[in-house]
Amino acid sequence: MQELTLKQYVVDAFTDRVFAGNPAAVCVLEQWLPDELMLAIAKENNLSETAFTVKNGSGYELRWFTPGGEIDLCGHATLATAYVLLNFYEKTWDSVSFSTQSGALGVDKKGELYEMDFPVYGLKQVPVTQEMVLALGARPSGAYMGRDLLCVFDDASVVKELKPNMEALKALDGLLLHATSASDSEEFDCISRSFAPKLNVVEDPVCGSGHCHIIPYWSEKLGKEQLTAYQASARGGTLYCRKDGDRIIMAGKAALYSQAEIHIPADGLDA
């Protein structure tokens, strides 16, 4: 078998400039690769997410891999994939539909914004435990479980200054942990940070799927359907969100960082 050459892009999502937002690698494939090879590529990239997409009829199939394995939903890598497809592959399109593990996901290009239609994660309130306090180094005022654990704080400065114990976080329920509070700036409604040590990702710089937990909470708490959210990681990122029934309309900007080729030798195809 001959060497395999793949085109790969890295896009910073939920930002209008490079070196901010959340970087995602995007591989546009002619056909699916073995899962083990896609995971090996994700590990080699060592970003929080590598997206793989294959055209199918008038839309695309989409899968997301972290260095720790495949995940069922990822916002920033979906935005990044839509950016790549609409700017390099489907230049006459103003929207793209993805078939994913989380169902059909649509992305519309509206000026500089890429607007995504995502599912809401239902939240169930759970007790604040001493294990949460020890893992986070601070006591949340409330905790809620969806796919992920959502911990709510009353003080934005506490969220910004958290230095969680990653090993202790792994012992908590939920795939990821999101810490959130109301914003201390009039520019935003809420802020958050997202941690994913179970996926070999210490901190996700801007987590789209996390806002499928965060936005439902703050929409109800603030009595607002339209919210502007800020992810207060070191890189930072802005999400323009609207709750629409059991869906979240989530929009952000994107900036292209790199285009490259991946070269996988024939003996590497058995990775």
CATH number at residue 77: 3.10.310.10
Best CA proximity match to 175, nearest among 72, 248, 26: 72
Question: Using alpha carbons only, what angle is made at residue 48 by residues 44 and 50, rounded to the nearest 5 degrees?
Answer: 60
pLDDT tens for 28-44 read 999 999 999 999 999 99
DSSP secondary-structure letter at 121? P
pLDDT tens for 209-223 read 999 999 999 999 999
* Single-letter code of the amino acid located at 210: G
Based on the fold, state whether residues 92 and 189 are members of the same structural domain. no
Phi, psi of 12 (to 5 degrees): -85, 120
Based on the fold, state whether residues 111 and 130 are members of the same structural domain. no
pLDDT tens for 55-114 read 999 999 999 999 999 999 999 999 999 999 999 999 999 999 999 999 999 999 999 999
Based on the fold, state whether residues 95 and 13 are members of the same structural domain. yes
- Cβ distance 259 to 118 under 8 Å? no
Based on the fold, state whether residues 63 and 130 are members of the same structural domain. no
Report the alpha-carbon distance of residue 163 to residue 225 in Å, rounded. Answer: 31
Q: Report whether pLDDT(164) > 60.
A: yes
pLDDT at res. 140: 98
The pLDDT-based confidence of 266 (bands split at 50, 70, 90) is confident
pLDDT at res. 268: 64
Q: Report whether pLDDT(1) > 60.
A: no
Based on the fold, state whether residues 110 and 207 are members of the same structural domain. no
- Cβ distance 197 to 169 under 8 Å? yes
pLDDT tens for 129-148 read 999 999 999 999 999 999 99
DSSP secondary-structure letter at 266? G
Best CA proximity match to 252, nearest among 109, 113, 78: 113
Instruction: Exactly one of 3, 36, 49, 167 is catalytic; name it.
Output: 49
Model confidence pTM above 0.75: yes
Is 131 among the catalytic positions? Answer: no
- Cβ distance 35 to 26 under 8 Å? no
* Single-letter code of the amino acid located at 133: V
The residue segments making up the domain with residue 58 are 4-118+253-270
Based on the fold, state whether residues 137 and 59 are members of the same structural domain. no
| Dihedral sign, Cα of residue 242, residue 228, residue 223, residue 213 | positive
Based on the fold, state whether residues 99 and 82 are members of the same structural domain. yes
Mean residue pLDDT of the chain comes to 95
Report the alpha-carbon distance of residue 14 to residue 204 in Å, rounded. Answer: 12
Based on the fold, state whether residues 113 and 128 are members of the same structural domain. no
Based on the fold, state whether residues 201 and 262 are members of the same structural domain. no
pLDDT at res. 270: 60
pLDDT at res. 142: 98
Report the alpha-carbon distance of residue 43 to residue 29 in Å, rounded. Answer: 18
Based on the fold, state whether residues 98 and 167 are members of the same structural domain. no
pLDDT at res. 2: 73
Number of domains in the chain: 2
Based on the fold, state whether residues 171 and 226 are members of the same structural domain. yes
DSSP secondary-structure letter at 131? H
Based on the fold, state whether residues 89 and 177 are members of the same structural domain. no
Close Cβ partners of 22 (under 8 Å, ≥ 6 residues apart): 12, 13, 14, 15, 48, 49, 76, 204, 205, 206, 207, 231, 235, 237
